[in-house]
Structure 1
């Protein structure tokens, strides 16, 4: 059975049609607004390279907003705040260093922060001589402060228990070169990473070479630190390592000038004086036989390998060449060495070098 269509129903049909049109427009507008808030690019472009958001350990949501505002990282802070609160991010702030890609939307940014997807720090450790220099380098690149780092480097009980080193030899764990770490790594985590890198460097082959030379791993580091201070010429490193090992085998004192400079605390000295050789220090290898108790600088991988593969020869003396090339003249006898040393001293005299 069908019902008759009455003309008086036409106004009602028009009403519902208009209602559906308005509702559809409203839904589409709402969807468009939702897309705009969630996914519209909101991270500003930077003319100075990648933009990073640093969130310190223990920082809250207010500190995150302050950093975003201070460094003008967002186009629209309010829409970010809406999405962050919708995703309950204020209660789940995670510390770290976050890379903000240009054009990133609010949802992608908030979800990255929620997951704690940090960008690691590509860090190159440069050569250093003292603990404060090491601590300053690390503190400049990571959240850990230099005071906490120095405290850890001087915690003898912890160093011996966890890493098998002491406060004198702990610097042997830090190999100069590239590292990739999280910005908010603690002082302990930085030391753990250095120890792990050190462990990977000391392969079974390198350990075997050290054993064949009659040296412990720490002694290799100490000798390499002296060789590294003696020359920057790669080929001379093997020769100098061989000369020092010959001295050790013969029971001679190393008489290494770089260890004196460590003892007097002045690596800028160009001319070592006889008075320097009287300094009372275990690092004075003119007075004490054998290796000093710890490294005098951070030896790099190339110098360590030079010590592990020393040149085989009979030299026990060497002296810098007077031509300023950075190479050394080597000698088997003391008389020959004195001739080489006089030529070098004359060169310093001609340049007016007194110290």
Structure 2
């Protein structure tokens, strides 16, 4: 009986201590690194991942107290996805109420897979809720200001929807997209397949940008990446139209002619071997994964069928027949 009473006493002491700690935690104001803190919760995020994200952003010292608070209120599924602008000094309870009420900032901008940096800048310049700092900046000035040094901007930003508070600068949004791409590219690079002919993660980004521009059907990305890697391995030129078009810049009028294919530029993969010097667009994560995990194939040619998909061929003869069938609609061509 004495042992039982002692165990009950310890249990009661633990409950009192826990309640005291929770009362202290719930009522103690939180101090964020900044007076206001942007915080994004993606759809489907778990309570544990949300709490850890707040620890990573130095909003909480550890995740478990907040997890216990929310679970004690039986509201683990009550936190709503969205982008929040949170004020330093609020208590954990007030923080929970804000996140469960869904008082999100609704301004957003979407950068599309396959866009160029020029298209990104145009989208930012035309967005009414963005504070425009970079309109008069050169690309080089923007890259230095966001901490990217002298890097060429093309392809270095991650295509996604970015939520932000009204009045956030275009420079800050670009910095977020730049960091997002660096993080995702590095994580993908660490898990790359074996035997790939890339010297760096940047070369992966170049290949991924080509795959992004060449692919009309998402499921074909790994196969198209496999074709281009086969060409690199045998010393064949990539011969891909999107690189030629990118190298033409404003001279491209919507029609790619034979003279364009034979006019040499640093991006003309018909006249030059290997990869072009930089990415040609902003690749999405699926294109990056395709470049790092290509399909195993013997094909070295492909031609569009006219519906977004492609016919893949192992030999030039097969390819020529596919061109007649799909591009020339069955007409013989010399």
**Alignment TM-score > 0.5, same fold:** yes
Work out whether 1:121 is the aligned partner of 2:107.
yes
Question: What count of residue pairs does the alignment treat as equivalent?
Answer: 228
Counterpart mapping for 1:22-101 below 5 A: none
**Cα RMSD (Å):** 3.1
Bigger-Rg structure (1/2): 1
Work out whether 1:158 is the aligned partner of 2:144.
yes
Task: Specify the alignment match of 2:178 in structure 1.
Answer: 195
Task: Specify the alignment match of 1:315 in structure 2.
Answer: 299
Q: Out of 270, 275, 286, which is 2:270 matched to?
A: 286
Counterpart mapping for 1:334-345 below 5 A: 334-345=316-327
Q: Whole-Å Cα distance in 2 between the matches of residues 313 and 254 of structure 1?
A: 16
Work out whether 1:250 is the aligned partner of 2:234.
yes
Q: Deviations over 1:297-339 (max 9, x none)?
A: 2211222222221101111111112xx2221111111122122
8 Å CA contact 1:210, 1:217 repeated in 2: no
Q: Deviations over 1:102-126 (max 9, x none)?
A: xxxxxxxxxxxxxxx9936332222
Q: Whole-Å Cα distance in 1 between the matches of residues 191 and 183 of structure 2?
A: 14
Q: Whole-Å Cα distance in 1 between the matches of residues 234 and 271 of structure 2?
A: 16
Task: Specify the alignment match of 1:145 in structure 2.
Answer: 132
Cα displacement (A) at 1:240 = 0.6
Q: Deviations over 1:134-184 (max 9, x none)?
A: 1121223343337x256252238827x9326623xx232212111122333
- Runs of at least 5 residues in structure 2 that lack an aligned partner in the other structure: 1-83, 86-102
Work out whether 1:171 is the aligned partner of 2:158.
no
Q: Out of 299, 302, 308, which is 1:326 matched to?
A: 308
Q: Whole-Å Cα distance in 2 between the matches of residues 152 and 274 of structure 1?
A: 33
8 Å CA contact 1:128, 1:134 repeated in 2: no
Task: Specify the alignment match of 1:240 in structure 2.
Answer: 224
Work out whether 1:182 is the aligned partner of 2:165.
yes
Q: What's the TM-score, normalizing by structure 1?
A: 0.56
Q: Whole-Å Cα distance in 1 between the matches of residues 184 and 319 of structure 2?
A: 36
More helix by share: 1
Report the CA distance shift for 1:341/1:229 in structure 2 as closer, same or farther (over 3 A). same
Report the CA distance shift for 1:214/1:165 in structure 2 as closer, same or farther (over 3 A). farther
Q: Secondary structure of the residue that 2:272 maps to in structure 1?
A: coil
